Amino acid sequence: VQNRHNIPDYEALVDDGKARIKWVEHHSPVMNSLVKKTVSDGSLTGKRIAVVVHLEAKTAFLATVLADAGAEVVAAGSNPRTTNGAVVAALRDRGINVVAQADGDMHSWEQELLAAADFEPEYIIDDGAELTLRMAKHRPELFARLKGVSEETTTGTARLHAMHAAGQLPFPALTANAARCKHLFDNRYGTGQTTLQAILRITNRQISGARFVVVGYGYVGRGIAEYARGMGARVGVVEIDPVRALEAHTDGHDVGTAKQLMPNAEFIVTAMGGMRGISRPEFAYRANVTTYKVGQRSVHVLSGGALVNIAGGSGHPVEIMDLTFSVQGLGAHYLINTAMEPGVHILPKSVDDSIAAARLACLGIVLDTVRDEQADNISDWIKATTS
Amino acid sequence: MSTHYELSPEEDLEIGKARIAEAARLMPVTTHFVSNLVASVNANELHIGSALYLDHKSAYFLLLLSQAGAQITVLATIETVDEQLICALRDAGITVLANSSYDDVEVVDANSLLACKPDLVLDEGGRIFNKHTTAHETWGITEHLPAGSAALENSLLQSSHSLAVVDLNNINLKKTVDNTVGVGQSSVLAFLDITNLQLGGQRVLVHGYGCAGRGVARFSKALGAKVTVVDPDPVQLLDACFDGYHTAEDSHAASVADVVFLTGYKDTPVSLEWLEQLPNAACVCVVSDGAPQLPMTELEKQYPGETVRHLVTQYQLGAGQRINLIGNGLPIYTVAGQGTPIEVADITFALQAAAIERLVESHQNNETGLISLSDTLERDIAKLKLEHRDAAHRSGELQ
């Protein structure tokens, strides 16, 4: 663990982390207005909340907002490759419990998650349901005492649904991912922009004219495909869902099987919310790139196969995470203040809408409202038919 | 390039070689044109000096020339010191002049390269050209940056220079590929990498609609920005309008810009008053590598800056608004990126190889001044690039 005693210039590390968090704060208008106001009503006081999301500056800012509202927060990373050492130091300096460390591996990460479990959280803001799953398996007594989970991702939501279907979800879970203020922006624009950024930064390749294949055409796949095409790439889409495949085709992308599209691709991005592929690394020749020999071809895997935009870049844009973490922060507040049945729930539309409205207000954008004459006259027809 | 304190010289060498090999794989056109050069010129009699930005692409090009028998001397200035590449070049017998101090970088280095008496110099931004006198033995120069291009045109017109100079920056293929696509992609993505911000919905002001302006406008728009272009030339502005961008009066556009890209359409920097119109939290990026685009001395004097993030300096201006200067006022695609993409460099260095061949020929014919390249060169290079792409496509090779 990095601390004052084994890092020569620990103060500089703390300052670096603080500056990173401050930059996020400056670009998070919704967190600063709506979320801070809502969560500071006293209902979070003394509540034990585990924040288990990629532990860099944006997540750290969420942790500080919850802590400032009175919660007892423990922070852990949701992937061993994405924890930022400076941010960890800054959070500890503020007195927030952090059980993660930078440059960890799968083993140390498992230990971190168990340490987060042993903090005995009542609520979890989870990513990929990583802590929820581990508490169910390794800490069943503590799992039984959990009061709620707010889940960040598509993958984690699918896992929670599976647990519920198996009768193993004894508490309410909110799927932040189902909120429109999350998936419409985070999945599509956030992942889209930063995935391309990270790929091009790591490889120093040109995107214009490149043949670029996206596997999966959900919100993430759509965002990546849209930005790649905007920058001049020829985009191919591999998708198993016929409706999404037709959508990709109509959006102007080439649609086909992996066998048809991948041999010609210069870039392949997986965006299926699923798991795994590829064999043993043959040699590593530059930071964040591992080359595999697959048949006659060399395939370069970026960022160890971890999420390229976070492990190989600096994660989602700050403004995007302002929305996502507003969903998470208000989601935690809603879980704490609302009695709900066990199962997977969606954040109410009114909360979702309030986030978008707060952001628009910060941008100075004013919306029209519906005028009376715009209402459908269906009620007149029904009245006429029934009378 | 970040420093790798934990690596041994052997590891640096190995990684440096691998990085160059990675560039080599994606630079078939450069490889081809260097072999053309070697076939027509006796490389053993040639001493080439390089003032080029040292990255894996230029390193590959220099290594090819060295392998062909040319003597190579490389100038690696402090901003571009890259131990891995320096190790790899030295291992191949190339002389590398690397800086150890920030003081008088330009003066010390330009002269030290000229003191090595290269026949030809691959110049960047006119830094060698500006130090060259008739006393030096160097007889040929290539220049590939807009800044150097402007400088040498003025100078060659005014004096009877003994130098033969090829101005690669005047070649259309170079302008469209390197100055527009390469600089556009690298600059916009460097801004995002440095700031971790979003471009979707942002108001981006592109200051100047030359090659670099077109590039940053295109990539900003692709990432969802609302792009406004200002340019004093109405023809350029009409072009921007028909390309689908907002066009506006310079002063009005500044007051509503979230992000500004200064692409260097004029030789004088924007004024302090111009900067003072920017709204709170505006980010200012320099894209041009030419004349200074910002009144740095005045700015620093009147409003001391504070570093708020790596490569982000914040200034609180007169009206209380804070603006963020990204990349210390230097071209952001070099300070934060790795220069232009490899595929772009493939074309740039093919042009360099052709320029060297032409300069040797002109030296034999006692030609001096601005030397032009063959009319068919651009078409030959473009054709070969397309052929290589198609071949890779047909063979199903994952590049």
pLDDT in tens, B16-40: 998 899 899 899 999 999 999 999 9
Q: What is the mean pLDDT of the segment spanning B123-146?
A: 87
Cβ-nearest to A314 among B193, B281, B393? B193
Question: Does the structure show a pLDDT above 80 at A227?
Answer: yes
DSSP letter for A100, please: -
Place of tokens 């038919």: A385
Q: How confident is the model at residue B241 (pLDDT cuts 50, 70, 90)?
A: very high
How far is Cα B167 from Cα B376, in angstroms, rounded to an integer?
Answer: 16
Residues above pLDDT 90, as percent of chain A: 64
Chosen from A185, A206, A283, A322 to mutate, greatest number of chain B CBs within 10 A: A206
Q: What is the mean pLDDT of the segment spanning A187-209?
A: 89
Residue type, A285: Y
Q: How confident is the model at residue A270 (pLDDT cuts 50, 70, 90)?
A: confident
Nearest-CA distance A19 → chain B (Å): 6
Question: Does the structure show a pLDDT above 70 at A169?
Answer: yes
Nearest-CA distance B367 → chain A (Å): 37
pLDDT of B397 reads 46
Q: What is the mean pLDDT of the segment spanning B346-362?
A: 96
pLDDT of B148 reads 77
Q: How confident is the model at residue B265 (pLDDT cuts 50, 70, 90)?
A: low
Name the 3-class secondary structure at A299: strand
Cβ-nearest to B398 among A206, A298, A317? A298
Chosen from B188, B193, B196, B306 to mutate, greatest number of chain A CBs within 10 A: B196
A-chain residue closest to B223, CA distance = A227
Cβ-nearest to A206 among B198, B199, B343? B343
pLDDT of B330 reads 86
* Contact: B338, A204; criterion CB under 8 Å: yes
Bridge partners, B228 (sequence order): B205, B246
* Contact: A27, B197; criterion CB under 8 Å: yes
Chosen from B17, B25, B198 to mutate, greatest number of chain A CBs within 10 A: B198
How far is Cα B399 from Cα A206, in angstroms, rounded to an integer?
Answer: 12
A chain contacts of residue B393, beta-carbon cutoff 8 Å: 211, 264
pLDDT of A381 reads 80
pLDDT of B103 reads 42
H or E stretch covering A163: helix A154-165
Q: How confident is the model at residue B269 (pLDDT cuts 50, 70, 90)?
A: confident
Burial of A86 (0-12, 13-18, 19+ CB in 10 A): buried
Q: What is the mean pLDDT of the segment spanning B251-270?
A: 86
Chain A, 7 to 26: residues with Cβ < 8 Å from chain B are: 19-20, 22-23, 26
Residues above pLDDT 90, as percent of chain B: 60
ipTM above 0.85, yes or no: no
Q: What is the mean pLDDT of the segment spanning A22-43?
A: 96
* Contact: A23, B308; criterion CB under 8 Å: yes
Helices (H), A204-270: 219-230, 242-250, 258-261
Q: How confident is the model at residue B336 (pLDDT cuts 50, 70, 90)?
A: confident
Find out whether B29 and B55 touch, Cβ atoms under 8 Å. no
* Contact: B396, A264; criterion CB under 8 Å: yes
Question: Does the structure show a pLDDT above 90 at A137?
Answer: yes
B chain contacts of residue A263, beta-carbon cutoff 8 Å: 396, 398
State both tokens at A257.
């099987």
A-chain residue closest to B333, CA distance = A201
How far is Cα B85 from Cα A25, in angstroms, rounded to an integer?
Answer: 39
* Contact: B341, A206; criterion CB under 8 Å: yes
pLDDT of B107 reads 47
Cβ-nearest to B196 among A285, A286, A317? A317
Average pLDDT, chain B: 87
Nearest-CA distance B393 → chain A (Å): 5
Find out whether A149 and A342 touch, Cβ atoms under 8 Å. no
CA angle in degrees (0–180, nearest 5) for A51-A55-A57: 110
Question: Does the structure show a pLDDT above 70 at B166?
Answer: yes
* Contact: A205, B341; criterion CB under 8 Å: yes
Question: Does the structure show a pLDDT above 60 at B236?
Answer: yes
* Contact: A204, B341; criterion CB under 8 Å: yes
Range name among A64-68, A260-264, B127-131, B321-325 with the lowest pLDDT average: A260-264
Chosen from A13, A87, A208, A222 to mutate, greatest number of chain B CBs within 10 A: A208
pLDDT of B391 reads 75
Q: What is the mean pLDDT of the segment spanning A295-307?
A: 62
Nearest-CA distance A299 → chain B (Å): 7
* Contact: B200, A189; criterion CB under 8 Å: yes
Q: How confident is the model at residue A124 (pLDDT cuts 50, 70, 90)?
A: very high
CA angle in degrees (0–180, nearest 5) for A142-A333-A122: 10
A-chain residue closest to B199, CA distance = A193
Residues above pLDDT 70, as percent of chain A: 88
What would the DSSP string read from start to end of A200-213?
A: HHHH----TT-EEE
Q: At what angle do helices B377-395 and B342-364 cross, to 10 degrees?
A: 140
Per-range mean pLDDT, top range of A142-151, A281-290, A360-369: A142-151
